Amino acid sequence: MNVVLVDSGGANLGSVRYALQRLGVEPAVSGDAAVIAAADRVILPGVGAAGPGMARLRELGLVQPLRDLRQPLLGICLGMQLLFDGSEEGGETCLGLIPGQVRRMPESPGVRVPHMGWNRLQSRRESPLLRGIDDGAQAYFVHSYAAPVTADTVAESTHGQPFAAIVQRGNVAGAQFHPERSGAVGARLLANFLESGVA
């Protein structure tokens, strides 16, 4: 299988690559639109802020090629947030592949932002991405911004209030948590994406 990791400049690029290698897949790492367009599966990792993340994609000339993909695409952490229409973080316009605005998580007594640590996944609807993942399984999160729970939400989590933890719309999917740091649950999600895509 031809799997391409988009060279988005995120610090989690190497760890996502290693997680895929543990599953027996050697992904290409590329910022070349033609290489990405020829892939069987595309993964968009990312950490940090929406502005620099989108600036990197624009610099590489990847905004429209990513919008045009018809094969399965998985965004991870910031990569998931960039799939949405936009982000409150800097008022950034994103890829527009999934409707909705990413917003800063509200702080309240006992609810710290950034949200860091393990949290439960609650299934919202069936998806191949959840195959073999128990409802209530835990995954590892590090983020200050989050996507809303909508009809495209496959699983949600709660930190003060509910937010989208896994999303899917057509061939496009995203995980707000870090599968590469989430043990067996993260490995299962990646394996499901590789095996089934998001159809």
Residues noted as catalytic: 77, 178, 180
- The structure tokens listed for 8 are 């988005």
> For residue 168, what are the β-bridge partners?
173
- HSE of 40, CA atoms in CB hemisphere, 13 A: 11
Task: State the Cα angle at 189 between 88 and 132, rounded to 5°.
Answer: 130
In the block, which residue shows the tokens 């031809």? 2
Three-state DSSP class for residue 142: strand
| CB-based contact 168:154 (threshold 8 Å) | yes
> For residue 74, what are the β-bridge partners?
43, 173
Contacts of residue 114, Cβ cutoff 8 Å, sequence gap at least 6: 105, 142, 143, 144
Q: Report phi then psi at 186, rounded to 5.
A: -65, -40
